[in-house]
Amino acid sequence: MILNIESATGTCSVCVSRGEEILDFQEAEQEYEHSKVLTELIDKCLKTSKLDLGKLDAVAVSSGPGSYTSLRVGASTAKGICYALGKPLISVDTLQSLALATQKQMQLSGAYYCPMIDARRMEVYCNIFDSDNNPISEPSAKVIDNNTFGDFFASGKQLVFCGNGAEKCRAILESKLTVFLPSACSAAYLVPISNRHFEEGKFEDIAYFTPFYLKPPNITTPKNMKL
């Protein structure tokens, strides 16, 4: 029994899974309300599944990249539950979970998958995965232009773009080799990977685990703030 927490983007969600079966799924109605609703979603999810926290075998959390504040809320909640109950903590690469969910939906032979998380303007957090869900590059923050994936297109490789940052890139990345599947991060997407990590005993050190922010927070001083 694993509690899966997704908080990398504006919409947070949770689900309880038994193996790869999802017992219940809950998602916030409003964006960026993580600190307000996350524990409420967890409580509702557990009650609907007729479980209590003590029955969980582990807690899994989306590890990023994504929104700095959103990731911190998810990670601190997951770590708090694990610490209090002595449960193991599992981290799931946000981009990898998006790529795997898209791969299962599209089932395109030989295609590569590029999940994108919106990082404002024309920048996205992204990585590229092969048809076996193995990363073939390192996660990065890219400002998308006409030449961003030129080497893939030149070699005739089909790229499937997904995630909440994909749609804004559609006009720029026009090619016969591109497929777009705009989608949002979901706790349900964590389940196959969190279950595999649990079976392999791949757990995080609760004391030292931090999300993968990729970039530092963009902290500014309000213009009307007086010193």
Residue 225 domain-assigned (yes or no):
no
Structurally, the chain folds into a number of domains equal to: 2
Q: In which domain, by residue range, is 23 found?
A: 2-93+185-200
Residue 26 and residue 44 in one domain: yes
Q: What is the pLDDT of residue 107?
A: 81
Question: Which parts of the chain sit beneath pLDDT 50?
Answer: 219-220, 222, 225-227
Q: What is the pLDDT of residue 116?
A: 97
Q: What is the pLDDT of residue 223?
A: 54
Q: What is the pLDDT of residue 214?
A: 84
Angle of the 94-106 helix axis to the 191-200 helix axis, nearest 10: 120
Residues 47-96: pLDDT tens digits? 999 999 999 999 999 999 999 999 999 999 999 999 999 999 999 999 99
Residue 24 and residue 76 in one domain: yes
Q: What is the pLDDT of residue 213?
A: 92
Residue 84 and residue 114 in one domain: no
CATH at 159: 3.30.420.40
Residue 63 domain-assigned (yes or no):
yes
Residue 77 and residue 99 in one domain: no
Q: What is the pLDDT of residue 153?
A: 85
Residue 87 and residue 190 in one domain: yes
Taking CA atoms, 51 is separated from 32, 61, 87, in Å, by: 27, 19, 15
Residue 168 and residue 139 in one domain: yes
Q: What is the pLDDT of residue 9?
A: 96
